[in-house]
Structure 1
Amino acid sequence: MAGRVSSPSDDDIQRDILAELAWEPRVQPNEIGVAVRQGVVTLRGWVDNYAKKWAAERAAQRVHRVRAVANDLEVRLPSSAERDDPEIAAAAARALEWDAFVPAAEIEVTVSDGWVVLRGEVEWEYQRRAAEQAVRQLAGVRGLSNGISVVPRERPERDEISGRIQSALVRSVETDAAGIDIRIEDGSVVLTGNVRSWLEREEAERVAWSAPGVTRVDNHITVRL
């Protein structure tokens, strides 16, 4: 196609993503189109629930040399999976209450046309992520926005936060600590550097969020092709 140059590495990435989608039992690969340009992946097509959309995105992120994923998959619920908003809201509230990692009393759930919005405050990022995970697999959900804020009670010194994160990165088998730089700015962690995969980039962010006192993580790590 005129005006578009596809490198051999893009073709390799596309082929690997299609293979990974075929390997992922939660999705139907024939429903999903994959385009790759300079390591940036775009997923197109439609799936019949929001959990499949998320699973397809995770499958693409697992592939080596993927730098970013644009998930343009559309959720088209079959009639048997349709739920009204009050029913979804009630199911979401129950799911949050049953999750041991989620402080359900601190979280507000709003649903509009099947789109769930979570708001509130938690002490740790893992609680924020657990709330999202508890809700995204519910029947009838078309999409999810996680507006929960992380408000830690503990406020260690900047050098202590940086040291704890660096030590955790060194311990982790899933990250190359030597390729990651850490900067602390008023409780916010800024990550820069280069890693080998999107999942390694994500693991570095998870490690940063696990340090006490962190209110925000700006992840500027790039995936090298």
Structure 2
Amino acid sequence: MRTDTQIQNDVMAELSWDASVQAKQIGVGIKDGIVILNGEVDSLAEKLSAERAALRVKGVRSVVVELDVRLPGSNQKTDIEIARTVTQVLNWSAHRALHDLMVVVEKGWVTLSGHVTWNYQRRLASTLVRSLMGVRGVTDCIELKPLLSLADVKSQINSALKRHALLHNCVIDITAHEDEVVIKGQVHSLAEHSMVLHSVWSTPGVRTIVDQMDIV
């Protein structure tokens, strides 16, 4: 089992290796495999890159992000400018479902609302907005319109998990109740945990996930 010191050193090395992160501005703390990132970054995109870098390190169980987004003067934008840019970016997307989303901006924080059919469309909308200059954060209030019955959803999820070559040793139990999909079982790493969540979210009709998986 890896020690906290080993994990901390690897997280700092991973941050330094990632070209999208200014590692010198980020402090790394750790306790019992839980990594704490603190300091300042120049954009929301850099903040998310730092989080992903920490999650890539073996032995990390979770990441607490306490990074403040401090926009340089040249990156400061008014809420009106941000709202206009966000709307244009969504309207230019090839995914027509994003064209009808509602956008609210307050002090650089963007809230997205409306309906889409697939979870990847919801994630795409947030991803597009997070990379924009001047955006300090994104709140995703986008809802999914179910296409399938819960029984069909459960069947498709189980089939998707069985097809995944890297998950054949994982013991996963799927239950569907009302508008929730509950995932129970054991995985062996954060990477496997993410794969399971991705497979479930990729199933049409999934609106809410209750994650009760254990990493062992």
Change (3 A) 1:181 1:64: farther
Q: What TM-score does the superposition give when structure 1 sets the normalisation length?
A: 0.89
Partner of 2:173 in structure 1? 181
2:125 alignment partner, SS class: helix
Give the residue type in structure 2 aligned to 1:196.
H
Worse overlay, 189-198 or 7-16: 7-16
Q: What TM-score does the superposition give when structure 2 sets the normalisation length?
A: 0.92
1:46 aligns with 2:40: yes
Contact 1:176 1:195 survives alignment (8 Å): no
Shift of 1:156: 2.7
Shift of 1:87: 0.5
Change (3 A) 1:187 1:14: same
Runs of 4+ off more than 6 Å? none
The correspondence for 1:77, drawn from 44, 49, 71, is 71
1:143 aligns with 2:137: yes
1:208 aligns with 2:189: no
Instruction: Return 5+ residue gaps in structure 2 as ranges.
Output: none
**How far apart are the structure 2 equivalents of 1:209 and 1:195?**
17
Contact 2:153 2:204 survives alignment (8 Å): yes
Partner of 2:55 in structure 1? 61
2:3 alignment partner, SS class: helix
Question: Which is bigger in relative contact order (C-alpha 8 A, separation at least 6)?
Answer: 1
Contact 1:44 1:73 survives alignment (8 Å): yes
Instruction: Return 5+ residue gaps in structure 1 as ranges.
Output: 1-6
After superposition, the C-alpha distances for 1:34-70 in whole angstroms (9 at most, x for unaligned) are: 1111221111001011100011011111112222111
CA RMSD of aligned residues (A): 1.8
**How far apart are the structure 2 equivalents of 1:46 and 1:223?**
30
**Percent identity (aligned):** 40
The correspondence for 1:221, drawn from 188, 196, 213, is 213
Partner of 2:149 in structure 1? 156
Give the residue type in structure 2 aligned to 1:186.
E
Contact 1:42 1:69 survives alignment (8 Å): yes
Alignment of 1:101-112 (within 5 A): 101=95, 103-112=97-106
Change (3 A) 1:175 1:73: farther
Give the residue type in structure 2 aligned to 1:26.
S
Contact 2:112 2:140 survives alignment (8 Å): yes
Partner of 1:197 in structure 2? 189
Change (3 A) 1:120 1:113: same
Q: Tell me the number of residue pairs that the alignment of Structure 1 and Structure 2 aligns.
A: 216
Partner of 1:4 in structure 2? none
